[in-house]
Amino acid sequence: MAPKFEDRIQGLLAQIEADGLYKRERLITSQQGGKIRVGGTGVEREVVNLCANNYLGLAGHPEVIAAAKRGLDEFGFGMASVRFICGTQTLHRQLERGIARYLNKDDAILFAACFDANGGVFEPLFEAEDAIISDSLNHASIIDGVRLCKAKRYRFANGDMNELEDRLKEANRDGARFKLIATDGVFSMDGYVANLQTICDLGERYGALVMVDDCHATGHLGEAGRGTPALTGVDQRVDIVTGTLGKSLGGAMGGFVAASQPIVDLLRQRSRPYLFSNSFAPAVAAGSIKAIEIAEKADDRRQNLASHAQRFRAGLQTAGFELLLGETPIIPVMLHEARLAQAMAAALDERGVYVAGFFYPVVPKGKARIRTQMSAALTDEDVGFAIDAFIDAGKALGVI
Ligand SMILES: *Cc1c(COP(=O)(O)O)cnc(C)c1O
């Protein structure tokens, strides 16, 4: 007799649980911020939050919230239409133009999420005669987007520029018509910035376009927060930028592709997640416009973020923790063993600090860690409190 479908699903769930990989969502009863209230099951408490992508602290910014409310009042709750039928408001074009101007590109096109932007950016632009050369640590949405595209796929080990060059040569030998190098701007598990200088140099030498997914950078890294291309001095040399409105830029939701006019125009004609999905919610568009406006001028917030990162790194390093070194507000604390990472996360939770442990298969075996993220929403006291909690928990568990 055929096994019952539900039994198989129950078995998979039990296996996930047995492997220690079951993800449980914690209930937050407050806004997103430097401190959040967690609970929802009766006992509520306030914790210092080190695991949101709320780098600039705009998720709870009063002006962003006020702008979203005005958007709601003026443009309504929703459009109940795709963009090309009757779903494009002046607000949508204003946001797209704002993103393009911010990132120094001709134009931009909105998606419901960057996951959709990456899912829909490759297939219309590249065909079977073309080649996409992708970093092995690229975000899942890039991997899926490349899979949906008929272009030939090539992969290079994370950040390995020699291997990238080999793949470019290989694509040339295979007779590729057009080539695209696709990379994350920041690799979010490690907090490393991609070597965009070399990537752009190789792109030029081998005639390849360059695409950067800058989700973990737009808003807080580089001059005026223009992201890793600005940070590494290559913003005129990156052809396609994809990004999110769900992290630094207000943290609500939404993604985009920013590029030259013909690229954006073709995506508007052909990109499936754009064509066959509802228009962007007006309140989110209005709040995001304001978030970008604030982000561009937020040197004070970027300074605050950088100084929190510097202080937190120094505090933990002096105490004897092993960190991955980098130049982003992502600070991974290496614990190597999955169980230790889990125990450390629990010990920090008891001490009022909210962190996320990462272990296999999200990171390689033996590379378990707690990934902390700084935010401009944190106060100096919050950062000091978090450092003390790490030291106390680290001593209790014999990590330091
Ligand atoms: C968060 C993230 C995404 C997904 O963005 P959403 O807008 O949340 O769908 C895509 N790529 C990278 C590198 C990310 O960090």
Strand, coil or helix: what is 181? Answer: strand
Nearest CA to ligand 1 atom 1: 215
Among 54, 55, 141, the mutation site with the greatest number of ligand 1 atoms within 8 A of its Cβ is: 141
Q: What's the average model confidence in pLDDT over 179-198?
A: 97
CA 41-25-31 angle, 5° bins: 75
pLDDT at position 350 is 95
Q: What's the average model confidence in pLDDT over 91-109?
A: 98
Q: What's the average model confidence in pLDDT over 12-18?
A: 94
| CA–CA separation, 180 and 54 (whole Å) | 30
Tens-digit pLDDT profile for residues 306-316:
999 999 999 99
For residue 167, the number of C-alpha atoms closer than 13 Å in the C-beta half-sphere is 27
| CA–CA separation, 256 and 318 (whole Å) | 40
Q: What is the number of the ligand 1 atom nearest to the C-alpha of 216?
A: 15
DSSP string, 277-312: SBPPPHHHHHHHHHHHHHHHT-HHHHHHHHHHHHHH
Token pair, residue 173, equals 């030998």
Q: What is the number of the ligand 1 atom nearest to the C-alpha of 186?
A: 13
Tens-digit pLDDT profile for residues 226-251:
999 999 999 999 999 999 999 999 99
| CA–CA separation, 37 and 209 (whole Å) | 45
Q: Are 186 and 241 in contact (CB under 8 A)?
A: no
Tens-digit pLDDT profile for residues 363-396:
998 999 999 999 999 999 999 999 999 999 999 9
Residues in the chain: 400
Tens-digit pLDDT profile for residues 163-174:
999 999 999 999
Average pLDDT of every residue of the chain: 96
Query: DSSP class of residue 223?
Result: G
pLDDT at position 39 is 86
| CA–CA separation, 308 and 375 (whole Å) | 8
Q: Are 46 and 62 in contact (CB under 8 A)?
A: no
pLDDT at position 1 is 64
User: pLDDT category, 43, cuts 50, 70, 90?
Assistant: confident
211 lines ligand 1 (CB under 6 A): no
- Do the strands 208-213 and 368-373 form a parallel or antiparallel pair, or are they unpaired? unpaired
User: pLDDT category, 210, cuts 50, 70, 90?
Assistant: very high
114 lines ligand 1 (CB under 6 A): yes
- pTM of the complete model: 0.97
Token pair, residue 146, equals 């490349």
Proportion of the chain above pLDDT 70, given as a percent: 99
What single letter denotes the amino acid at residue 37? Answer: R
Q: Are 344 and 204 in contact (CB under 8 A)?
A: no
103 against 359, higher pLDDT: 103
pLDDT at position 24 is 87
pLDDT at position 156 is 98
